[in-house]
Chains A and B, each alone.
Chain A
Amino acid sequence: MQTGCEWLRGTGPDAEIVVSSRIRLARNLAQFPFISRADEPTRNDLEKLLYEKLQNLSAGPRLSYFDVRNLSDLDRQFLMERQLISKELADGEGARGVAVDQGQSVSVMINEEDHLRMQVVRSGFSLDECWKDIDQLDDDIEEDVTYAFGEDLGYLTACPTNVGTGIRVSVMLHLPALHMTKEIQKVLGALQKISLAVRGLYGEGSSASGQFFQVSNQITLGQSEQQIIDKLHEVVPNIISYERRVREALLKDNRAKLHDQISRATGILQKAQTISSEETMDLLSSVRLGVSLGMLDDLDLLSVNELFIHTQPAHLQKIRGETLDSGERNAARAAYLRSRLAEA
Chain B
Amino acid sequence: MKKCRRCSKPATLHITEIHDSTVQKIHLCENCASEYLETSAPPDEDEMEALLEEAGLGDLGDEQDELTCPNCGITYREFRKQGRLGCPHDYVVFKERLIPLLENIHESTHHAGKFPKRAPDASHKQYELIKMRNDLRIAVEKEDYEAAAKLRDDIRQLEEQQSE
Q: Do A and B bind each other?
A: yes
Question: What 1/0 mask marks residues of chain A from 164 to 179 whose CB sits below 8 Å from any chain B CB?
Answer: 1101101000000000
Chain A residues, CB < 8 A from B143: none
- Identify the interface centre among A191, A223, A227: most chain B CB within 10 Å of its CB: A223
Question: What 1/0 mask marks residues of chain B from 63 to 105 whose CB sits below 8 Å from any chain A CB?
Answer: 0000000011110000000111111100110000010011001
The distance from the CB of A219 to the nearest CB of chain B, in whole angstroms, is 5
Chain B residues, CB < 8 A from A149: 115-116, 119-120
Q: How many residues of A contact B (CB 8 A)?
A: 80
Q: Is the CB of B114 within 8 A of A225?
A: yes
Closest to A146 in B: B120
A100 contacts the other chain (CB 8 A): no
How many Å lie between the Cα of A306 and that of B21 in the bound state?
34
Interface SS of A by simple majority? mixed
Closest to B11 in A: A204
Number of A-B contacts (CB under 8 A): 222
A230 contacts the other chain (CB 8 A): no
Q: Is the CB of A31 within 8 A of B113?
A: no
- Identify the interface centre among B17, B20, B88: most chain A CB within 10 Å of its CB: B88
Q: How many residues of B contact A (CB 8 A)?
A: 71
How many Å lie between the Cα of A278 and that of B72 in the bound state?
45
How many Å lie between the Cα of A106 and that of B153 in the bound state?
37
Closest to A198 in B: B18
Q: Is the CB of B88 within 8 A of A156?
A: yes
Chain A residues, CB < 8 A from B91: 150, 153, 156, 163
The distance from the CB of A122 to the nearest CB of chain B, in whole angstroms, is 14
Q: Are A277 and B30 also in contact (CB < 8 A) when A199-B15, A214-B39, A221-B111 are?
A: yes
Question: What 1/0 mask marks residues of chain B from 10 to 54 whose CB sits below 8 Å from any chain A CB?
Answer: 011111111111010000001101111111111100001001000
- Identify the interface centre among B33, B87, B101, B162: most chain A CB within 10 Å of its CB: B87
A-side residues, CB < 8 A to B, are: 22, 24, 26, 28, 30-37, 39, 41-42, 80-81, 83, 86-88, 112-113, 117, 119, 135, 138-139, 142, 144, 146-156, 158-165, 167-168, 170, 185, 188-189, 191-193, 198-204, 214, 216, 218-225, 227, 276-278, 313
